Structure 1
Amino acid sequence: MHMRYRAALAALVVVATMSPALATPPLDGHRPKIIGGIDAEPGQYPFMVSLQKLDRGESDHERHWCGATLISPSWVLTAAHCVEDAQPRDYAVLSGKTALATAARRRVSNIKAIHVHPAYDSRGLVNDIALIQLRRPVAKGQFALPLLGGDSGYLRRGRRFTVIGWGTTGLEGPEGAPTVLQTVQTPYVPFRDCRQAYPGLEAGKVICAGEEGIDSCQGDSGGPLLVQRQGQWTVLGTVSWGVGCAQADYPGVYARLSDGHMADFIRATWTND
């Protein structure tokens, strides 16, 4: 079984083989994208962010590292494994884009601080969330709200979530690394079923979603697991990890924001400006 982070980490693939019971996905070199999705419409998800690693290339498309969500003018939510040990000067947040440009363009850091969950465990990707504070607020930004409690009504068989990202699509050629944001409706997988695939999962800390042919993948890490709640796009989780992408019986695993440790971290760190 190939376990991997869902972050865009390098051009070379370095995937380790491990037992899913360990729930310890190793660092790998995929550039994740949505599997089974379609192009998003311009402006459809104005809160979606590309986390750019500034030394990765000359264009925004090349520099894409992870997904993230703008949750208020100066704050972005992403996965801890995307920014573990990261320095703000080495990254930038790119917001307000549906398509990532392929033309060379210089970009500088606009990040003031990176806050990784203090109990993040890189071995099992437990508490896999982080908050990024921007140097200046995003002018006229539109946001998605994190749901920090009361999400059980959404965790039922038949529910489908929206997942978006610039990660790998599983297709050959340029279509495998699209410049246009991808969107897909992915089905909820009950925890009991998910634990059969990943016996090491801790109850309450994750949401599982996906089916054969539909999933998030490498490069989608940190992006949102979304529902519409009272007319507002709402984040229930962040893309974290999985075995392969869109494989039967191995759904994607998402950090669950309503978990007490994660919700407390967000409340204590996010100034909600």
Structure 2
Amino acid sequence: MSKRGRAAVCAVAGAITLTMAVAPSASAIIGGHDATSPYPFMASVQKDGQHYCGASLIEQDWIVTAGHCTVDVEPEDLSVRVGDHDRTKGAEAKVTEVVAHPDFSYEPFRNDVAVMKLDRPVDAEPIRLAADSGPTGTGTRILGWGMTCEDGSECPKPPMRLQELDTRIVPDERCSEDYEAKNELCTDSPTENAQACILDSGGPQIKGRPGDWELIGATSRDGDADPKCATGPGIYTDLTAHRDWIERTTAE
């Protein structure tokens, strides 16, 4: 299997098919810990009542997530919980529209971003999209629910409580051959063997500080040739690079 193939298996196949095997479908964080701050914008996209992908509330009736979270799903399949560390609580809404970036592709990964329209405004505070993602070395944080280990048989039930992990933007060359620097963020953690994995897809990458967070990215996929999620960097869609498309689409 190619490096690209391994990355795809670890990311998209996990986010879509692993749900039916041992865990709900949206990757979680290995090496993270229980959330320490309020994240009112944090959303759990759910399919058949199970956590499917992470997302961020950017308007009271719109969320942004990964493009691959839209593969083989229809709006009527999805609902959303927003604003609580517990993925079964928070404001609830149904999804009425799913819009992947028109240039999204799965193989190779390109423009891995999508927005979803909710059936009503939810009582939760959206996060603002940053003006830019920041230079190499910028401190960031990733959030998610799901598996907290590499082997699903060892952690078959994802945590109920939101997990967080401090990360940073690292040089582009640290990421694999299908990484696209102009639209993506190569991201690693100072914590050894810690990274997003099968099931945090679409979840937010943020910068700033508690009470003043800005959104810069969405979890996309594994960032190196090693099939283990927690070793090496991860690749995150640079949402600031897609600002025009996001704002234009959610304004329609």
Class of the TM-score when normalised by the shorter of the 2 chains? 0.7 to 0.9
What is the aligned length? 233
Superimposed CA distance per residue, residues 43-97 of structure 1 (whole angstroms, 9 cap, x where no aligned partner): 711110000012xxxxx5xx00000001111110101100134211110011122
In structure 1, the residue matched to 2:114 is: 130
Structure 2: distance between partners of 1:38 and 1:101: 18
The reply to whether residue 68 of structure 1 matches residue 55 of structure 2 is yes
Q: 1:208 to 1:46 in 2, by over 3 A?
A: same
1:11 to 20, 23, 30: 20
Q: Flag the structure with larger Rg.
A: 1
How far residue 145 of structure 1 moved from its aligned partner, in angstroms, is: 1.2
Judge conservation of contact 1:93–1:110 (CA < 8 Å) in 2: yes
Structure 2 letter corresponding to 1:271 = A
1:267 to 231, 247, 251: 247
The 5 A counterparts of 1:97-108 are 97-101=84-88
1:209 to 187, 205, 212: 187
Judge conservation of contact 1:90–1:109 (CA < 8 Å) in 2: no
| TM-score (norm: length of structure 1) | 0.76
Superimposed CA distance per residue, residues 154-191 of structure 1 (whole angstroms, 9 cap, x where no aligned partner): 2223x321101002211774586211110110132111
Structure 2 letter corresponding to 1:189 = V
Structure 1: distance between partners of 2:101 and 2:32: 30
How far residue 150 of structure 1 moved from its aligned partner, in angstroms, is: 3.1
The reply to whether residue 239 of structure 1 matches residue 219 of structure 2 is yes
Identity over aligned pairs, percent? 32
Moved more, 164-173 or 79-88: 164-173
**Which structure 2 segments of 5+ residues have no match?**
none
In structure 2, the residue matched to 1:23 is: none
Judge conservation of contact 1:170–1:176 (CA < 8 Å) in 2: no
2:169 to 168, 188, 194: 188
The reply to whether residue 36 of structure 1 matches residue 31 of structure 2 is yes
Judge conservation of contact 2:109–2:178 (CA < 8 Å) in 1: no
Structure 1: distance between partners of 2:75 and 2:156: 31
Superimposed CA distance per residue, residues 175-212 of structure 1 (whole angstroms, 9 cap, x where no aligned partner): 86211110110132111232xxx123223111011244
Structure 2: distance between partners of 1:33 and 1:203: 24
Report SS of the residue matched to 1:92.
strand
How far residue 230 of structure 1 moved from its aligned partner, in angstroms, is: 10
Runs of 4+ aligned residues of structure 1 deviating over 3 Å after TM superposition are 171-176
Judge conservation of contact 1:79–1:130 (CA < 8 Å) in 2: yes
The reply to whether residue 163 of structure 1 matches residue 142 of structure 2 is yes
In structure 2, the residue matched to 1:96 is: 83
RMSD: 2.7
How far residue 128 of structure 1 moved from its aligned partner, in angstroms, is: 0.5
Structure 1: distance between partners of 2:25 and 2:98: 23
Structure 2 letter corresponding to 1:177 = P
Report SS of the residue matched to 2:199.
coil
Structure 2 letter corresponding to 1:187 = R
In structure 2, the residue matched to 1:254 is: 236
Structure 2 letter corresponding to 1:46 = P
**Which structure 1 segments of 5+ residues have no match?**
14-28, 55-59, 103-107
Structure 2 letter corresponding to 1:183 = E
In structure 2, the residue matched to 1:19 is: none
Structure 1 letter corresponding to 2:170 = V
The reply to whether residue 45 of structure 1 matches residue 24 of structure 2 is no
Structure 2 letter corresponding to 1:84 = V
Judge conservation of contact 1:223–1:238 (CA < 8 Å) in 2: yes
Moved more, 44-53 or 91-100: 91-100
Structure 1: distance between partners of 2:75 and 2:171: 37
The structure with more strand, counted as a fraction of residues: 2
